[in-house]
Amino acid sequence: MYLSDALFSIKVVVAFLFLIYTCKLDLRERRVPNKVWKYMLLVFIPLDVVEFLLLKYSFTTFIFAIVQFLLMVGFAYMLYYIGAYGGADAKALMVLAIAFPIYPKILIFPVLNNGFGVFSFSVLSNSVISAPLLLIYMFFRNLTKEGLKNIKRDLFYYFVGVKVDAKSIPKFYNLLEYFDGDEFKRVKRGVEPDLKMISRLKREAEKGTIDRIWATPALPFLIFITIGFLISVFVGDLLVWILSLFIGKGLMF
C-alpha cells in the first residue's frame, strides 16, 4: 500500500465515523450541534496539511483545492437557501469539501471514475441518486411483513411507508392515513401529525375502529449523504457514469 492509500484510508474511516454519528444525532433529535462539525474540522485540517506536504502536491493542485472548496460552499449554501435540505446537510458537504480537497484514491477504488474531481459534489450527486433505493428497500420490507393480501389497494404505500400502531405513532413519522373530522383520509404525501390527530387516532384504536395505519418515516438527508459518501469512495460518481453512457467516455476522468 502506498503512502497516499494509507492516508486516504485514514481520512475515509474518520469521515465515515463522523457521518454515522451525525446521522444518529439527526435521527434522534433532528439537529446536529455545530460543535460536531468544528471537531471534524479540527481533525481534518491537520490531515490536509500532512496530505499536501507528504504527497507533494503541485501549486496547481493547491489552487484547485481552494477553488473546489469555494464552489462547493457556495453551491451547498444555495441549496440550503432555497430549501432543498437542512442546515446540517449543507454543513456536512462544506466540511467534506475541506476534508477531501482532492478526490481520494485507495488501491483500485473508486472502481468507475472520480467524477469531475470534486469529491463533495460526487457525494451530493450520489446522495440524490441513492435516495430512490430506499423505496425498493421499503417495498421488500413491506412485502415480507405485510404479505400480498392488500398489495393491490396499498401498492403505493408499500414503497413509501410502514404500518404503525395507531395508539402510538413513532416520533418523526408523517401520516399517510388519518382522521379529518369524521372522514378517514388516505393521502400520498405524508402529513405531519399534531396532538389532535394523534389523540383521535388513539381513541379510534381503543374503540377498535382501526388498528394499524400507514405512515412514512421523515428520514434526514444526512443518511443519504452518508450513503453517497460510501458510493463516491468505492464506486465513483454515478451521475458522471450515467452521463457517459449517453455521450461517450469523454466525461470519465
Beta bridge partners of 163: 214
- Residue type for 134, please? L
Do 29 and 92 lie in a common domain? yes
Do 49 and 163 belong to one domain?
no
Distance of CA 141 to the CA centre of its chain: 20
Question: Do 164 and 212 meet the contact criterion of CB atoms below 8 Å apart?
Answer: yes
pLDDT at 213 over 80: yes
The β-bridge partners of 46 are none
Answer whether residue 174 shows pLDDT above 60. Answer: yes
The secondary structure of 187-245, three-state, reads: EEEEECCCHHHHHHHHHHHHHCCCCEEEEEECCCHHHHHHHHHHHHHHCCCHHHHHHHH
Same-domain status, 118 and 169: no
Q: State the CATH number of the domain containing residue 36.
A: 1.20.120
What digits encode the pLDDT tens for the residues 44-83?
999 999 999 999 999 999 999 999 999 999 999 999 999 8
Q: Please tell me the predicted confidence (pLDDT) of residue 134.
A: 86
Q: 236: domain range?
A: 3-131+220-251
Clarify whether residues 116 and 27 are in a common domain: yes
Look up residue 231 and give its three cell numbers. 458510493
Residues 63 and 112 placed together within one structural domain of the fold: yes
Q: Which of 27-31, 59-63, 226-230, 234-238 has the lowest mean pLDDT?
A: 27-31
Number of structural domains found in the chain: 2
Task: Look up residue 18 and give its three cell numbers.
Answer: 463522523
Q: Whole-angstrom distance between the N-terminal and C-terminal Cα of the chain?
A: 22
Residue 113, SS3?
coil
Model-level pTM greater than 0.85? yes
Q: Which three cell numbers stand for residue 126?
A: 450520489
Measured CA to CA, the distance from residue 240 to residue 103 in angstroms comes to 14
Pair type for strands 212-217 and 173-180: antiparallel
Pair 77, 96 in one domain: yes
Backbone angles phi and psi of 111, in degrees to 5: -75, -25
* Per-residue pLDDT reduced to its tens digit, 11-49: 999 999 999 999 999 999 889 999 999 999 999 999 999
